[in-house]
Amino acid sequence: MRHGRAARGAAASAAAAPIAAAPDWSTAEPPVLDPHRFSYSVVIPVFNSEPIVATTIDRTVAFFESHGFSYEVILVNDGSTDGSWDVLQRAPARYPHVRVINLLRNYGQHNANLCGLRRATGDYVITMDDDLQNPPEEIIHLIEKAMTGPDVVFGQFRHKAAPPARTLGSRVIGLLNRRIFGQPPDLVVSNFRILRRDVVDRISTSRSAYPYITGQALLYSSKPANVEVEHAPRQAGKSTYSPVRLAKLVLRILFSYSLFPLRLSAAVGFFIATLSFAIGVAFVLHHFIAGSSVEGATTIIVLLSFLNGVVIAMLSMLGEYVLRTLRQVTETESYHVLEEIARTK
């Protein structure tokens, strides 16, 4: 009996004791991965950068060697017309982890990036420019941020050293990215980025004749993020992103990844048809009420010229879609490799 009362007392005391609260895993920060556990590929498109591309290679290799990371550097010559390819050909002999690729002609930065992504073997792939405006030493910030969980990290420049025209073009492209690719409002994109292997694989298997790596990275990632990096002034030459190239990029985004031009054309056509119908009704009513008149030849000529111009514009827009669809179906590759050099191990 005494033992029974003691047991019941112990049980009551245990029931009365406060229960320890379970840890709140929802607020716990994700574990930070060790960057030395992974390998990295750096993809650098090269176009007319003969005076500076050797320095870009030297500093990129020096960064990875100083941190002890497993790495490879892939440079894609995008049809340069200067001596850039001559400089690139000498790089694999100096650095065993450097591979250089020479494209048949100039296909554009995004096609060159796609070529590099398809040959990259790293767990993470970094893309950057060839002109040292993306300092290689800033790669560490991309890697550290990627180790916290994001599958794509874009470098957000603290102070961007770019002309006003380039800044305006970037804003227009940013607007398109938000409307077409679902770019979050608080996310800033750039060509200086790191992509996890699964995102790279999704981009690489895409067979678009008009690749747009930034938009595809947004489409194929589940957790994009930003990290602040420095943006250096261009040390040699001048930017190849002219207003014409920016306009071509805008058209590539609109016609290859969006139905907006087609829908805008349909809306304009519907509006003009409605307006023309209303004008026609007004002329008919005027004929029955006030009688017919031979005046208005100028108005007719202006209206016909305007309507014919609209029809031609719409047909041109439809033709652009048809042409791009035809290229998408008939062309299996958006670039062709002329030569590839890597040191054999």
- CATH, residue 144: 3.90.550.10
139 and 78 co-located in one domain: yes
How many domains, the chain? 2
- The pLDDT value recorded for residue 304 is 72
Per-residue pLDDT band for 250 (boundaries 50, 70, 90) equals confident
Determine the pLDDT at residue 145.
Answer: 97
| Pair (118, 167) in one structural domain | yes
- For residues 33-40, give the mean pLDDT: 96
CA distance 113 to 215: 13
pLDDT beyond 60 at 2: no
pLDDT value for 7: 43
Strand stretches in the chain, DSSP E = 39-46, 70-77, 98-103, 124-127, 152-157, 193-196, 224-229, 337-342
Q: Which residue has the higher pLDDT, 255 or 240?
A: 255
In a domain, 110, yes or no: yes
264 within a domain of the structure (yes/no): yes
Q: Is 152's pLDDT higher than 80?
A: yes
Determine the structural domain holding residue 96 and report its residue range.
35-257+336-342
251 shares its domain with 265: no
Q: Would residue 240 count as lying in a domain?
A: yes
Q: How many residues can be counted in the chain?
A: 345
Residue 13 lies in a domain: no
pLDDT band at 22 (very low <50, low <70, confident <90, very high): very low
Q: Is 48 left (phi over 0), alpha (psi -120 to 50) or beta?
A: left
Do both 250 and 267 map to the same domain?
no
Domain-located, residue 105: yes
Query: Do 103 and 140 sit in the same domain of this protein?
Result: yes
pLDDT band of residue 58 (cuts 50, 70, 90) is very high
Residue 19 lies in a domain: no
Residue written as token pair 């033709």 = 319
Cβ contacts of residue 344 below 8 Å, gap of 6+?
none
**Same domain for 247 and 282?**
no
pTM, to two decimals: 0.75
Assess whether 242 and 312 both reside in one domain. no
Residues 49 and 142 in one domain: yes
Q: Are residues 172 and 189 in the same domain?
A: yes
168 and 306 assigned to the same domain: no
Domain shared by 77 and 53, yes or no: yes
Residues 286-334 pLDDT 10s: 667 776 555 665 567 667 767 777 777 777 777 776 766 666 665 567 8
Q: How confident is the model at residue 272 (pLDDT cuts 50, 70, 90)?
A: confident
Q: What percent of the chain has pLDDT over 70?
A: 76
Same domain, 269 and 240: no
In a domain, 26, yes or no: no
* pLDDT, average across residues 92-106: 96
Note whether residue 10 is domain-resident: no
Of residues 257 and 118, which shows the higher confidence score? 118
**Cα→Cα distances 72→54, 75, 125, 210, Å:** 16, 10, 10, 26
